[in-house]
Amino acid sequence: MFALFKLNYHNQFSAAFPDTETLHHAKRLWLEALAAFAPQDIMLGAKRAILQSEYLPTVHKMLKLCAAGENGLPEARAAYREACNAPSPKTNFHWSHLAVYHAGRESNWFFLANNPESTAYPVFAEHYRKICERVLKGEQLTAPEQLKLEESPSTPLSKEENTRRLAELRAQLGI
């Protein structure tokens, strides 16, 4: 992982770890922090970091990136775009992860659709962060109930029945 970071973030890596002693301390810190993850998850997290950010990731960011592989959680900006671009009804959309749907619902679909990204993204990102934390702690999110068309649509009313109901409605309203 550190070799990958050194190749990709050369100047930042050299500034963050100017000597071997600092590098050894950092490796110990990262080893302790990432000990819960399998080596392949750590490497996938490092590759995600390279693809998603032009900056050397922090331990905190690496924890999120490694966990994302395990739980399938997309990065916050990608989740925001998915939530904004999903067609209605939102419950019937095939989400990359249920956390995206729940964050969009918590943020209010109307708010996301009618505000600029500079206003809507911070609200969505905060909801998404909280939901991701719950997912990483093991909470299972419930899938939204799919909307379905009625199985046997009713037959249309006859012209006489429509006229009778309209007369009743006018009588109730006093028109």
Tell me the per-residue pLDDT of 94-140, one tens digit each, with 9 for 90 and over.
998 999 999 999 999 999 999 999 999 999 999 998 998 888 777 88
pTM of the predicted model as reported, rounded to 2 decimal places: 0.53
Residue that has been written with the tokens 């309203």 in this structure: 173
Buried b (16+ CB within 10 A) or exposed e, 30-47: beeebeebeeebbebbbe
What one-letter code names the amino acid at 167? A
The Cβ of residue 9 has, within 10 Å, a number of other Cβ atoms equal to 19
Spatial distance between the Cα atoms of 89 and 77, rounded to a whole number of angstroms: 22
**Contact indicator for 80, 97 with CB cutoff of 8 Å:** no
31-44: pLDDT as tens digits: 998 887 778 878 88
Residue spans per domain, the chain: 2-71, 76-136
